[in-house]
Amino acid sequence: SITKTSIRSLLESTLPPPLKGLLKIAAQQAEARGWQLYLVGGAVRDLLLAQSQVHFREFDLVVDSGGTSDLQGAGGELARSIAEDFPEAQLQIYGEFQTAALIWHDESHLGPFSMDIATARSEFYPYPAANPEISVSSIRQDLYRRDFSINALAVRLTGHQNSPQQRGELLDFFGGVEDLEQKLIRVLHPNSFIEDPTRIFRAIRFASRLGFSLDEQTKIYLQTAIASGIYQQTEGNHHKAPALQSRLRNELKYIVQEVHWLRALALIQDLGAWCCIHPDLAMPPSSLRAIKMAARWLEALNPEPGDRRWPIILEVLLLQLPESARLKVAQKLQLPEGSQMRLGQFQALVQRCSDQLQGHPSPSRVVKTLRPYSPELIILGAVCVSVSVRAILWRYLQIWQHVQPMINGATLIEMGYRPGKKFRAMLDFILDATLDGQVSDPASAQQMVRQRFD
């Protein structure tokens, strides 16, 4: 079980030495200025959940200067001073949000790693930060603006002369530790999903990633937000809608990138949240089957599809909508250009398959039919065609698209032909013969070319 005092030893045992060193330097820099510094968010959650060493890629820090820093905010100043000890880190300062980031790229010994430093809101209401009574109210406010209790925990990294025991103290104002133990996703206030509708999908992502449930009351708030048409309401707002839709797209992307993504999609369905994307969207068993099939095909094509899987999965889901609606949703969500292209070409591919690939088409005919289309589009097509055409598409992707002509251009030159218009026709002719098994070795291929073209 998670005890409040164990966080110090967790920090000691779970963090790799370079990250411990980084936090120590950050804390020293804050202490030297009389500021309070906190580790917040996902890192604290993951530390408390850690069974063994965690691979951290990001720290979120909040600094509270009690209003004693300059206009750029304490976050910027602190980041700049930490950066002096880490010349390999890239420093970014966003004045308007009073936040800063230090980024270590792949090559550096910490990389890839980033550390965000936000400035606590109390910046605007000056008071002495070294006064622990008041300063707690400021980090409390900061944490209260966050999504779920398990993400609203903080560890105080700084200690001060009059209160050194505070260093390493866990701040749990909203019952986050209990929710970690109970495996619950719980919002901090009823309006959380209305204020930030992307939290609907974040709740689903964390629940499926961690194997947690939604707290019953939280589920009611979430479904009330969906029922209020929270996403549709903002659609008319040209100012707000694009940013909200692109954050929604990011959440969908992160969900599909999770290990337990199928579990997450099922939860979206159970909660009735697909309608946030389009009023008629859902995930009936047929869609789920199509999604699983597309995922299997993608994996067969490329065992590490990386960033390529999520758009295709969303495209498969959108196929249940009428063609014009698919494209509209793709644009609204700002799906990658490739997605919009595939959804645009999809109907033409399916038509072409049913025109050209009925019965037992020869491999060369299959290749001619499908060559204009990308493998990803063909996978999309595969979920909507007949079983027999699907088998043909599979063989095209697995075998026929990779077949090379038995002899190449260099051989044609050796044979005395000069590169030109006829060349292409010769190579296509050889490729067709190779695909259809009409030549078995380069010598017979040469003979066939002479017979046909001389």
Q: Under a CB-based contact definition with an 8 Å cutoff, are residues 301 and 397 in contact?
A: yes
Q: Number of helices (H) and strands (E), helices first, in the chain?
A: 22, 9
Q: At its nearest, how many Å lie between ligand CTP and the CB of residue 113?
A: 12
Q: Which of 34, 42, 305, 338 binds ligand CTP (CB under 6 A)?
A: 42
Query: Do you know the residue count of the chain?
Result: 454
Q: At its nearest, how many Å lie between ligand CTP and the CB of residue 154?
A: 10
Examine residue 179 and tell whether it contacts ligand CTP (CB under 6 A).
Answer: no
Instruction: Select 201 or 429, whichever has its Cβ closest to ligand CTP.
Output: 201
Q: Under a CB-based contact definition with an 8 Å cutoff, are residues 411 and 434 in contact?
A: no
Which candidate, 395, 419, 396, 399, places its Cα nearest to that of 408?
A: 419
Q: At its nearest, how many Å lie between ligand CTP and the CB of residue 151?
A: 3
Stretch that binds ligand CTP, among 194-202, 276-284, 347-355, 368-376 (CB under 6 A): 194-202
3-state secondary structure (DSSP) of residue 69: coil
In angstroms, the CA 99 to CA 97 distance is 5
Which candidate, 138, 163, 159, places its Cα nearest to that of 68?
A: 138
Q: At its nearest, how many Å lie between ligand CTP and the CB of residue 205?
A: 7
In angstroms, the CA 126 to CA 124 distance is 6
Stretch that binds ligand CTP, among 127-135, 197-205, 301-309, 421-429 (CB under 6 A): 197-205
Examine residue 208 and tell whether it contacts ligand CTP (CB under 6 A).
Answer: no
- The DSSP H or E segment spanning 217 is helix 216-227
Examine residue 199 and tell whether it contacts ligand CTP (CB under 6 A).
Answer: yes
Q: Which of 196, 336, 338, 365 binds ligand CTP (CB under 6 A)?
A: 196
Give, as ranges, the residues between 134 and 163 that touch ligand CTP (CB under 6 A).
146-147, 151
In angstroms, the CA 290 to CA 219 distance is 28
Instruction: Select 42 or 132, whichever has its Cβ closest to ligand CTP.
Output: 42
Instruction: Select 33 or 199, whichever has its Cβ closest to ligand CTP.
Output: 199
Residue with tokens 């929270």: 230
Which candidate, 58, 71, 257, 39, places its Cα nearest to that of 153?
A: 39
Instruction: Select 196 or 428, whichever has its Cβ closest to ligand CTP.
Output: 196
Task: Write out the residues near ligand CTP by the rule CB under 6 A.
Answer: 41-42, 58, 60, 146-147, 151, 196, 198-199, 202
